[in-house]
Amino acid sequence: DARVTQTPRHKVTEMGQEVTMRCQPILGHNTVFWYRQTMMQGLELLAYFRNRAPLDDSGMPKDRFSAEMPDATLATLKIQPSEPRDSAVYFCASARGGVGSPLHFGNGTRLTVT
Amino acid sequence: QQPVQSPQAVILREGEDAVINCSSSKALYSVHWYRQKHGEAPVFLMILLKGGEQKGHEKISASFNEKKQQSSLYLTASQLSYSGTYFCGTERANFGNEKLTFGTGTRLTIIP
């Protein structure tokens, strides 16, 4: 079965450090999403891309978060500098694109900022 | 705008039925349903599209009331494996915009 691959699975870092999360979408999927999940806020959309172009990053704190797709097989989410409130599970998901396409989620990166 | 799910949590005995509801204040093009087990990623269950088309698993049934912007997920003869948190996600289809916004989830617990 094709799957979305996220690395690392777990990350513990100190406040102020840079964090980079990576995602390999399913081959042939042209839409990639980044979601953040916390108990309080649930699944929040941070940003998404179609054909590597950013379509919406309104959910992302611009001063410290950045998302890119250097190529069709890699999406990255960076936090610099990290803060304790960034602690959450970050999910990447991909879809074939177009309205009504199912999202396929990766296993997530569990980030803890101390 | 985040869709509203109800109930927030439900406990069932194996074999009982449940209905999970999802409503939006905005006009929708589609509603997605996902299930997430503890410590795992959300998994796709079903999509209901404006106009009546549905895509998903045969054993899952759901409805989409386009006039009320409401969707319901029907879980019948529940099994232990149905336990998890169910999320609805809604798409407001502006051209070229398939942003999916998730509800806060419904935690379903099935007991033997």
pLDDT for B94 equals 60
Contact yes or no for A61/A85 (Cβ under 8 A): no
Mean model confidence pLDDT for chain B:
89
Tell me which amino acid residue B95 is. Answer: F
d(CA B25, CA A34): 24
Residue with tokens 């940003």: A47
Q: Please tell me which of the candidates A95, A100, A106 has its beta carbon nearest to residue B49.
A: A100
pLDDT for A19 equals 98
Q: Phi/psi of residue A44, each to 5°?
A: -110, 135
CATH number, domain with residue B76: 2.60.40.10
A26-35, B58-67, B99-108: segment of lowest average pLDDT: B58-67
Q: Give the closest-approach CA distance of B11 to chain A in angstroms.
A: 20
Contact yes or no for B47/B23 (Cβ under 8 A): no
Six token digits for residue A90: 């970050």
Mean pLDDT on B52-58: 75
3-state SS, residue B90: strand
Contact yes or no for B30/B93 (Cβ under 8 A): yes
Tell which residue, A28, A111, A31, A110, has the closest CA to residue A69.
Answer: A31
Domain total of chain B: 1
Note whether B92 contacts A: Cβ–Cβ < 8 A.
no
Does residue B22 have a pLDDT over 70?
A: yes
CB contact under 8 A, A55 and B47: no
Tell me which amino acid residue A60 is. Answer: M
pLDDT for A2 equals 84
Q: Set out the domains of chain A in order of their start, with CATH numbers.
A: 5-113 (2.60.40.10)
d(CA A34, CA B42): 13
Mean pLDDT on B27-33: 90
pLDDT for B96 equals 47
CB contact under 8 A, A100 and B40: no
Tell which residue, A53, A56, A52, A54, has the closest CA to residue A44.
Answer: A56
pLDDT digits (tens, 9 = 90+) for A52-110: 999 888 889 889 999 999 999 999 999 999 999 999 999 999 999 777 789 999 999 99
Q: Please tell me which of the candidates A91, A98, A108 has its beta carbon nearest to residue B98.
A: A98
pLDDT for B93 equals 62
β-bridge pairing A31-38 and A19-24:
unpaired
Q: Can you give the residue range of the structural domain that contains B75? A: 4-111
pLDDT for A56 equals 86
User: What's B4's DSSP letter?
Assistant: E
A108-112, B30-34, B51-55, B60-64: segment of lowest average pLDDT: B51-55
